[in-house]
Structure 1
Amino acid sequence: MAWTLEQLNAASPAEALQMLDGLYEHSPWIAEAALQQRPFRSLAQLKYAMVQVLNGAGLERLLELIRAHPELAGKAMVAQALTTESTNEQSQAGLTHCTPEEFARIQQLNADYNARFGFPFILAVRGPRGTGLSRQEIIATFARRLSNHPDFERAEALRNIHRIAEIRLNDKFGAEPVLGNDVWDWHERLAQHSDPGYAEKGQLTVTYLTDAHRACAQRISHWMRDCGFDEVEIDAVGNVVGRYKPATPDGKYLMTGSHYDTVRNGGKYDGRLGIFVPMACVRELHRQARRLPFGIEVVAFAEEEGQRYKATFLGSGALIGDFRNEWLDQKDADGITMREAMQHAGLCIGDIPKLRRDAARYLGFIEVHIEQGPVLNELDIPLGVVTSINGGVRYVCEMLGMASHAGTTPMDRRRDAALGVAELALYMEQRAARDGDSVATIGMLQVPGGSINVVPGKCSFSLDMRAPTDAQRDAMVADVLAQLEEIAQRRGLQYRAELAMKVAAAPSAPAWQHRWEKAVDALGVPVYRMPSGAGHDAMKLHEIMAQAMLFVRGLHGGISHNPLESSTADDIQLAVDAFSHVLEQLAAE
């Protein structure tokens, strides 16, 4: 029998503790402390209460919890001495049916892991979907995590312990993230389409107007029709546009969406999460035969990443009238112009100017996106409310010194170009940290024609600087460029710095940010506010209408633009619920 939250809130302390028995392996003290926060508004709030208990525990208690867990396919499993919960989980993952080779490999990994970290390897083997990881996935994860830093690995073990507890809690309360599962499955199915050269390697790459890209557009359009959208089209730049009409013909529209193209060998969730979450919400409205006072326009933007052609934000740019005809003459690596690619795809180039939206017909633009960073993951918080999309600048630079013999040139007579850049890199680290939420990076650093026994006479490098406001960004840029000048003067160097890109910050519209905050709070999870360091389609729409974004926690340290990019069905369910809540707020207004 499944428990209810009402029963948990009304139960005596002993009864409530018994209801939560077995969530954390041999550690009832976690649930006992969390129950002091009753009554709970949601299971999500209860889950976070237990996270807080562990956050307040000392290191020794955390290690005690980790060491209370059995090894995967270890001695306890062989001796049938696992807890009921662990037996069920290891069985679902097929660990009780390992081949002799797999069993031997896991035993060796267990030994190596314990020797390195001093505690057993912990993995939520039922995975992000809750249905179980394959043995191959488990072994691959085991091997990969062996190389982690001990501090990071301890934190990763605890995050997996929380995920194990989340799944066990769902089982006890009969809670299934039905819509989260559907959205998760859409990601998996869409990821079957990948460009040649990558598909054969099992890698996900979808670049503008390739066969895989066009297959994705067709698949999304079919799903939109299945969800009950009234109108679905693929427009003149390849955007897939679905419209769910308002209750009255003169109603305005809420625009939402994100991109479906990917970086090379990328992840399944970047961009696509922002397409599928609102699609699930529209499907629920359609199933209920409900119309809202406003319509919903979901746009799967055809291009955001700039992978095949140099143009970026091509899909969202076209909607604000920012499509430049000179882009049509850009060539890809095979010499195919964008114009030729669009004609081959059957797109009507002459209709591109007609795509420009009249902002007066829209309430605003909102976007759901995987965080693409470690912050929510480290805080064990499922959702983040975006306060601003950082403004950024990029420079392509050279530092010029004097190449000389590494053995015969005294240290006080050198003009080392690489050391000048190294000094600048350390300054940038300190300067960005001073703001708290600025970031600065030298991502490219090269000594052209360098030799092991030659003092570098030339160093090519890049500068990337971002901040939540243009003023904050510009102040940092001014300081960094002044430091570059000072370093060059002091070291007898020369430099060249060419501005390669400058994009304005896109602060969230206060009213829309507040709606996201109310939605997140209603779910019983913390309202965490954060800037976005990455660029998003919302930046383009920001130029003509109000916008605000919601971030969803990623797994594996929040990694993105990477095959390991992922999220759980439970976190996706919370995103769907938050989106639905925003729709209800707007309807009530």
Structure 2
Amino acid sequence: MTTAAEVLARCAELDQHSAHPTHLERVHLTPEHAAANALVAGWMTRAGLTTWQDAAGNQYGRREGRAPGLPALLLGSHLDTVPDAGSYDGMLGVVLAVAVAERLGDRVGDLPFALEVVGFGDEEGARFGKALLGSCAVAGTWDPAWWRLRDADGTTLRRAFADFGLDPDRVGEAARRPEELVGYLEAHIEQGPYLEEADASLGYVTAIAGARRFVISVLGQARHAGGTPYERRKDALVGAAECITAVERLVRPSGCIATVGRIEAHPGAVNVIAGRADFTLDLRAATDEDRDAMWKRLEVELQGICDARGLGLTVVETHRAPAMPCAPWLTDAIVEGIAAAADPDPMGLWSRAGHDAMAIGAVTDVAMLFVRCHDGISHHPDEDVREIDVARALDALERAVLAVAERVEG
């Protein structure tokens, strides 16, 4: 029976497939991506799964249920990373899913569905700037405009597909139909501190954040830094700074979460008052309604700050993703699994981070299991998990699969 120690050892083995010798980086449609797929395919074969790589570069394995051709319960996560990554974001979920298939063994043949495991090739969007490419292909929500995306070297997504040995014109073959799937379960490190603060190994996800992103420009007047008195200044950077602190002041007590990740002043000279300042805003909430209501409050506040300072304000929305609620019936199976493995009264959390489940939710019901991670650190080499928590996650996910089977049987 696959153990937590083996799961952690496999995560470490995946770390060897990196574009850099000193840190982990494995992005979409690269030799490292191909090597990770091949490694995981070997584990899938050992678990008794029939393997294939789909038309978008995602790695699959399948074992039939009590009859051939039944709809599948899909387990998985992603195999790509951010630059300078940790060892568990995405990968732990894939390896746990393979381990559950291996532990179930011949019992899969008694299930009222097939069991499939998937390692998505791109969730992070680190190479082409568009997240969830792998799971969007599976969900059938591929946008042909993405073919024009380019990486830092100027390679288009279409060219990268061809270089990887994929036919871009066949990407639609990766799409799954609703009738092919029973649902999707994803195990993932929490990427936050709440389970650790509660001294809990595992939690269940209630919803995945709905996000909106903006580029906000504060428009003033560039003038001489020494010669312009304060009463004559229209300092765009000072106005932007007030706007940024207002974002934190309004959002912090609301239950939403907002981040200003980048700010740039123009013309950017040490002795020139900024005539323009641009900053980004990432706004997330458990529901689209909460997120959009908060944006309306912020928009009014930012406009008021700029009006008071004699500054202009422009806003460009660059991204919008709907919140994805987890299906109650699948979530109940996750809760049952956690209760059997770790905690009779598990914690429910809405995921502030995005996951493949939010894309797969377009084609089937989804639910997620969170695993405690040290200090909530993720997207960093210090990302870490405890062996006992991995052991409990393995038990919980296995029990959840059986609980789904009971619910499908009715």
TM-score (norm 2): 0.94
* Deviation readout 1:255-283 (Å, 9 max, x if unpaired): 12111111111111111111111111110
Q: Secondary structure at the match of 1:462?
A: strand
| Aligned-pair CA distance for 1:563 | 1.0
| Aligned-pair CA distance for 1:350 | 3.5
Letter in structure 2 aligned against 1:426: T
Give ranges in structure 1 of 5+ residues lacking alignment: 1-176
Q: Which moved more, 1:217-226 or 1:396-405?
A: 396-405
Q: Judging changes above 3 Å, is the alpha-carbon distance between structure 1 residues 459 and 350 closer, same or farther for their aligned structure 2 residues?
A: closer
Residues of 1 paired with 2:270 and 2:170: CA distance?
57
Specify the alignment match of 1:363 in structure 2. 182
Residues of 1 paired with 2:282 and 2:163: CA distance?
36
| Aligned-pair CA distance for 1:325 | 2.8
Letter in structure 2 aligned against 1:182: E
Q: Secondary structure at the match of 1:435?
A: coil
Specify the alignment match of 1:584 in structure 2. 402
> Residue 63 of structure 2 contacts residue 108 of structure 2 at CA under 8 Å; is this kept in 1?
no
Q: Does 1:192 align with 2:192?
A: no
Q: Which moved more, 1:422-431 or 1:540-549?
A: 422-431
Specify the alignment match of 2:43 in structure 1. 223
Specify the alignment match of 1:211 in structure 2. 31
Specify the alignment match of 1:386 in structure 2. 205
Specify the alignment match of 1:294 in structure 2. 113
Q: Does 1:182 align with 2:9?
A: no
Report which of the two structures shows the higher radius of gyration computed on alpha carbons: 1
Out of 215, 220, 231, the position equivalent to 1:401 is 220
Letter in structure 2 aligned against 1:314: L
| Aligned-pair CA distance for 1:212 | 1.1
Q: Does 1:233 align with 2:52?
A: yes
Which structure ranks higher in relative contact order (CA pairs < 8 Å, sequence separation ≥ 6)?
Answer: 2
Residues of 1 paired with 2:212 and 2:302: CA distance?
16
| Aligned-pair CA distance for 1:250 | 5.1
Q: Secondary structure at the match of 1:447?
A: strand
Q: Does 1:503 align with 2:321?
A: yes
Equivalent positions of 1:274-353 (< 5 A) are: 274-286=93-105, 291-353=110-172
| Aligned-pair CA distance for 1:485 | 1.1
Q: Secondary structure at the match of 2:278?
A: strand
Q: Does 1:483 align with 2:270?
A: no
Once superposed, what is the RMSD of the aligned Cα atoms?
1.9
Out of 282, 287, 290, the position equivalent to 1:464 is 282
Letter in structure 2 aligned against 1:181: A
Residues of 1 paired with 2:225 and 2:149: CA distance?
44
* Deviation readout 1:284-317 (Å, 9 max, x if unpaired): 1226685322211111011111122133211111
Residues of 1 paired with 2:393 and 2:170: CA distance?
35
Q: Secondary structure at the match of 1:434?
A: coil
Say how many residue pairs are matched: 406
Specify the alignment match of 2:292 in structure 1. 474
Residues of 1 paired with 2:145 and 2:403: CA distance?
43
* Deviation readout 1:166-185 (Å, 9 max, x if unpaired): xxxxxxxxxxx962111101
Q: Judging changes above 3 Å, is the alpha-carbon distance between structure 1 residues 293 and 371 closer, same or farther for their aligned structure 2 residues?
A: same
Specify the alignment match of 1:439 in structure 2. 257
> Residue 425 of structure 1 contacts residue 441 of structure 1 at CA under 8 Å; is this kept in 2?
no
Letter in structure 1 aligned against 2:121: A
Residues of 1 paired with 2:289 and 2:130: CA distance?
26
Residues of 2 paired with 1:235 and 1:360: CA distance?
18
Q: Judging changes above 3 Å, is the alpha-carbon distance between structure 1 residues 289 and 466 closer, same or farther for their aligned structure 2 residues?
A: closer
> Residue 386 of structure 1 contacts residue 532 of structure 1 at CA under 8 Å; is this kept in 2?
yes
Out of 549, 565, 589, the position equivalent to 2:383 is 565
> Residue 267 of structure 2 contacts residue 274 of structure 2 at CA under 8 Å; is this kept in 1?
no
Residues of 1 paired with 2:143 and 2:268: CA distance?
40
Between Structure 1 and Structure 2, which shows a larger proportion of helix residues?
Answer: 1
* Deviation readout 1:560-589 (Å, 9 max, x if unpaired): 111111211211111111101111212333
Specify the alignment match of 2:192 in structure 1. 373
Letter in structure 2 aligned against 1:397: I
Residues of 2 paired with 1:430 and 1:530: CA distance?
23
> Residue 257 of structure 1 contacts residue 367 of structure 1 at CA under 8 Å; is this kept in 2?
yes
Q: Secondary structure at the match of 1:397?
A: strand
| Aligned-pair CA distance for 1:238 | 0.8
Give ranges in structure 2 of 5+ residues lacking alignment: none
| Aligned-pair CA distance for 1:515 | 1.8
Q: Secondary structure at the match of 1:475?
A: helix
| Aligned-pair CA distance for 1:340 | 2.4
Q: Judging changes above 3 Å, is the alpha-carbon distance between structure 1 residues 405 and 335 closer, same or farther for their aligned structure 2 residues?
A: closer
Residues of 2 paired with 1:185 and 1:287: CA distance?
24
> Residue 246 of structure 1 contacts residue 295 of structure 1 at CA under 8 Å; is this kept in 2?
yes
Q: Judging changes above 3 Å, is the alpha-carbon distance between structure 1 residues 178 and 360 closer, same or farther for their aligned structure 2 residues?
A: closer
> Residue 285 of structure 1 contacts residue 291 of structure 1 at CA under 8 Å; is this kept in 2?
no
> Residue 137 of structure 2 contacts residue 172 of structure 2 at CA under 8 Å; is this kept in 1?
yes
TM-score (norm 1): 0.66
| Aligned-pair CA distance for 1:493 | 0.2
Q: Secondary structure at the match of 2:281?
A: strand
Residues of 2 paired with 1:289 and 1:366: CA distance?
16
> Residue 321 of structure 1 contacts residue 356 of structure 1 at CA under 8 Å; is this kept in 2?
yes
Specify the alignment match of 1:75 in structure 2. none
Residues of 1 paired with 2:145 and 2:252: CA distance?
39
Letter in structure 1 aligned against 2:192: G
Specify the alignment match of 1:114 in structure 2. none
Residues of 2 paired with 1:386 and 1:354: CA distance?
30
| Aligned-pair CA distance for 1:486 | 0.9
